[in-house]
Amino acid sequence: MSVKLGKLSRSVSIIGVGCTPFTDIMTHPKTKGLTEGELFGWAALEAMNDAGVEAKDVDMYFHGQGSPQQFSDYITPNAQVANWFGMRGKAAVHHSEACCTGYLALDLAVNAVASGKHNIVLSGTIEITGSAAAPGKPAHMRRPISFLDIMAGMPTLYDRAYTRQLEAGLSNAIDDVAADYCRQYGLTDDQMDDVLNALAINHRRSSARNPLALHQKEYKETAKEAGFDDPMKYLKSDSFNPRMGEYLRASGFEARCDGAGAVIVCPTEMAKQFKQQPIEVLGIGTALLEGSQPHLEKRATAEAIRQVYELTGVKPAEIDLLMANDFFITSGLLAAELSGYIPAGEGWKYILDGRTSYDGDKPINSNGGRTAFGHAFAASGLADCYEAVKQMRRQCGDHQVRKLPETVMLRGFGGGQNLTAGIIRTVQ
């Protein structure tokens, strides 16, 4: 069932962004001991400072967190962080779409301004995934949780009526894109292995140059430490880079961490009075297919992209940078081809040739993406939005893409599963 999007009632632009380092708050010196309120407050206050506004200027905020009860012992997380960034007494709405939360956070903020109800809106997202609230203790006291604890919670993304009992959902999602791509374009399993490992290498090249990223070391260094001259040989080693599925190895799976992101939007007609070059949100396409649906990422991504192209009139050739939530590393390849950013069936060659790296001609996930920048579930979408905006302002330092992006696509994915395709463009 397809949807035709209507034009926003008024144009909306991004005027400020904030993002914490994506780390483990139990151990990392930059963030050790921080709590939910402090992380959310960090990102929110950074976004206000970035825009040149203060909390008194912001009308309301959206709060996104994927698993507030599991990780934070919260069921009203927007209220529980409310005192940390100067907005006491102002309206707030919480939303939760797992790994897509941060992408829908932008959509919600844009709609709140486009409707005319509010002028300046903050949208923030947070997740602490490496530890959980210690029952009965203050917020800085947490207990570590394991990868297996996280995996045990994954079925909660899916419907209990049928989907979990049919074992559809996450079980078939991990390798779906890789298997489908091999069938469609005739790649061998070994060729796909090379492509996914090349993607991992490319992403680590970006994250190693990004001070906010979880992984600060390129694979060529990691490989050398393990006695390999060639990072590709290291990544093809089952001992050092075990297979998580038929195609995906550990290097192609999300790097779980903790973090927060924030964005501030206002009417474009107001935006030029603030500190930074405004970035207009031209439109955001959205679709959802629940976990029992085959090839849901591909089908719903295609629908979201169709919506946003139809709404905005933007052509694929106008996209300068693609950000795609890639907790499975294949997502960048899928979104690039479905959006026409890279010709269908050619993406794997672009990846092997390094053309999708931050310094290539078709950059994808210039911050390193979920496998290298890190994945703080709900927070990741606004971290990608932060990256896109900073790239568009030429503020990314060592991982700045070569051609200054004027138009960027943000492809969100997650939450069992939501898909979004947003297009943002620098206001001239």
Partner 1 sequence: MKIGEPVVKRWYEALDEGKMLGLKCGRCGAVEFPPVYCCNKCSSTDMEWTEVSGKAKMLDFVLPSPLFARPENASLGFYCYGSIELEEGSYFSAIVIGVSKKNKQSIVARLPVPVKAEILQRDGFKTIAFRVVE
Q: Which residue has tokens 């849901």?
A: 296
If one asks whether residue 50 binds partner 1 (CB under 8 A), the answer comes out as: no
Q: C-beta of 89: minimal distance to partner 1 in Å?
A: 42
- CA-CA distance, 23 to 259, in Å (whole number)? 7
If one asks whether residue 288 binds partner 1 (CB under 8 A), the answer comes out as: no
User: Which of residues 170, 187, 288, 352 is near partner 1 by CB under 8 A?
Assistant: 170
The answer to whether residues 141 and 25 touch, using CB atoms and an 8 Å cutoff, is no
The answer to whether residues 415 and 102 touch, using CB atoms and an 8 Å cutoff, is no
If one asks whether residue 237 binds partner 1 (CB under 8 A), the answer comes out as: no
If one asks whether residue 1 binds partner 1 (CB under 8 A), the answer comes out as: yes
If one asks whether residue 179 binds partner 1 (CB under 8 A), the answer comes out as: yes
Smallest CA-to-CA distance from 393 within 133, 10, 13 is with: 13
- CA-CA distance, 175 to 156, in Å (whole number)? 20
Please state the length of the chain.
428
Q: C-beta of 175: minimal distance to partner 1 in Å?
A: 5
User: Which of residues 136, 161, 238, 313 is near partner 1 by CB under 8 A?
Assistant: 161
CB closer to partner 1, 88 vs 183: 183
If one asks whether residue 416 binds partner 1 (CB under 8 A), the answer comes out as: no
Residue 186 is encoded by which pair of tokens? 């005739």
Binding segment for partner 1 among 55-63, 107-115, 171-179, 268-276 (CB under 8 A)? 171-179
Binding segment for partner 1 among 105-113, 243-251, 307-315, 377-385 (CB under 8 A)? 243-251
Q: C-beta of 181: minimal distance to partner 1 in Å?
A: 12
Q: C-beta of 173: minimal distance to partner 1 in Å?
A: 9
Smallest CA-to-CA distance from 217 within 353, 368, 322 is with: 368
Residue 236 is encoded by which pair of tokens? 């093809």
The answer to whether residues 28 and 259 touch, using CB atoms and an 8 Å cutoff, is no
CB closer to partner 1, 70 vs 292: 292
CB closer to partner 1, 250 vs 352: 250
User: Which residues touch 413 (CB under 8 Å, ≥6 apart)?
Assistant: 99, 100, 103, 297, 301, 324, 325, 326, 327, 331, 419, 420
CB closer to partner 1, 247 vs 386: 247
Strands (E), 96-247: 121-128, 131-133, 142-144
User: Which of residues 75, 151, 152, 344 is near partner 1 by CB under 8 A?
Assistant: 151
- CA-CA distance, 84 to 292, in Å (whole number)? 40
If one asks whether residue 293 binds partner 1 (CB under 8 A), the answer comes out as: yes
Residue 340's Cβ-count burial label (10 Å; 0-12, 13-18, 19+) is middle
If one asks whether residue 248 binds partner 1 (CB under 8 A), the answer comes out as: yes
CB closer to partner 1, 98 vs 114: 98
User: Which of residues 30, 243, 275, 349 is near partner 1 by CB under 8 A?
Assistant: 243
The answer to whether residues 31 and 21 touch, using CB atoms and an 8 Å cutoff, is yes
If one asks whether residue 90 binds partner 1 (CB under 8 A), the answer comes out as: no
Q: How many residues bind partner 1 (CB under 8 A)?
A: 29
Q: How far is the first Cα of the chain from the last one, in angstroms, to the nearest whole number?
A: 36
Smallest CA-to-CA distance from 222 within 240, 247, 206 is with: 240
If one asks whether residue 150 binds partner 1 (CB under 8 A), the answer comes out as: no
Q: C-beta of 105: minimal distance to partner 1 in Å?
A: 28
Where along the sequence are the contacts to partner 1 (CB under 8 A)? 1, 151, 154, 161-162, 165-172, 174-176, 179-180, 183, 243-246, 248, 291-295
